[in-house]
Amino acid sequence: MRIVTIEEHVSFPEMSHFLPDGITDKKQPSGPAMRLMPMLSDISGQRLESMDQSGISMQVLSVENTDVNLLDQSSAPAFASQYNDLLAERIKDHPDRFAAFAHLPMVAPSAAADELERTVKTYGFRGAMIRGLTCGEFLDAPKFAPVFERAEKLGVPLYIHPGIPPKPVLDAYYSNIGTTFGSFDALACWGWGWHSETAIHVLRLLIAGVFDDYPKLKIIIGHMGEMLPIMWDRSNKAFQPGNGGRNQRTMADTFREQLYITTSGFFTQPPLQIALDTIGIDHIILSVDYPFSDNQMGIDFLHGINLPAEQIAKIAHGNADRILGL
């Protein structure tokens, strides 16, 4: 069976040479990212070998770091373009094994929209991944409208991935915790914090009317829906049209038309069942979160799903092929 995974990460250390003096000192790479840098920077070595061993047909790659958000509006577009050029160069010899999401200079929204169009038309990139907040701002800020307009026009999705929480959030919620960086990192990021923040991010887009303004826009989020499926009924009741937001449709109706979720890093059956019961089989896409999660764990999870073969095929590749045009 064809297997496609779409939240799989890369990071190229040599790109740090293109950062202006002083920016490197402001970087806050996560501990896991530092430890896994050899795997993040690899394309055709261990990554491809692991895909072959586990039976993964294709990975859709995205840039893991957020260096571009440390730059200003004048320098970020060139940096993002260089990153995308390098990513395209690295995968060009394996067109049947790798596709990519664009890395966008979100600090300059109009340039980000242009870069999305350039990478889609020049390299065949399948959309873009946006990591967390941009300089403390959520995407419902009107300034980001050009990116949504362009994505809808091009017919490509935007993948909203968690990012490092902004400093005020870190100070308010995650300071004075534990005795090691690992304790803080787990609570603030991958263990809880950034998942809830991504759910808030998507709900803000709903309430702000972004989904209604761009009815053909597709948004993807990872980690089995970033807590949204478990809150589905309660949130749907809370965010009804006319309850103070700009949304013209219910949360459930909107998300069943325009939101897609991936399994990245979630490899047990109960969360999948909740996702099936809420957002539905046609909106669930297999992902691993490589190299932060192991490819074989993702494949073992897939093979353990107790559904008819045609439905498993939708999760394994059908939905990704359809939404991304693979």
pLDDT at 26 over 50: no
Domain count, the chain: 1
Q: What is the pLDDT of residues 77-88, one digit of tens each?
A: 999 999 999 999
Check residues 197 and 65 and name the one with the higher pLDDT. Answer: 197
Q: 67: domain CATH number?
A: 3.20.20.140
190 DSSP assignment = T
Check residues 177 and 22 and name the one with the higher pLDDT. Answer: 177
> To the nearest whole percent, how much of the chain has pLDDT over 70?
94
Bridge partners, 102 (sequence order): 128
Query: What angle in degrees, to the nearest 10, is found between the helix axes of 76-91 and 109-123?
Result: 20
Q: What is the pLDDT of residues 32-63, one digit of tens each?
A: 667 889 999 999 999 999 999 999 999 999 99
Q: How far apart are CA 257 and CA 218, in angstroms?
A: 8
Identify whether the C-beta of residue 68 lies closer than 8 Å to the C-beta of residue 76.
yes
Query: What angle in degrees, to the nearest 10, is found between the helix axes of 295-303 and 46-54?
Result: 20
CA distances from 65 to 129, 218, 302 (A): 11, 23, 28
Q: Which helix (H) or strand (E) holds 270?
A: helix 269-278
Q: How far apart are CA 208 and CA 183, in angstroms?
A: 34
End-to-end CA distance of the chain: 15
Range of the domain at 165: 4-324
Q: How far apart are CA 132 and CA 130, in angstroms?
A: 6
The two three-digit tokens of residue 230, written as one number: 């478990």
Q: What is the pLDDT of residues 129-153, one digit of tens each?
A: 999 999 999 999 999 999 999 999 9
Report pTM.
Answer: 0.95
3-state secondary structure of 57: coil
Identify whether the C-beta of residue 116 lies closer than 8 Å to the C-beta of residue 128.
yes
Range name among 121-135, 165-179, 237-251, 264-278 with the lowest pLDDT average: 165-179
Q: What is the pLDDT of residues 255-287, one digit of tens each?
A: 999 999 999 999 999 999 999 999 999 999 999
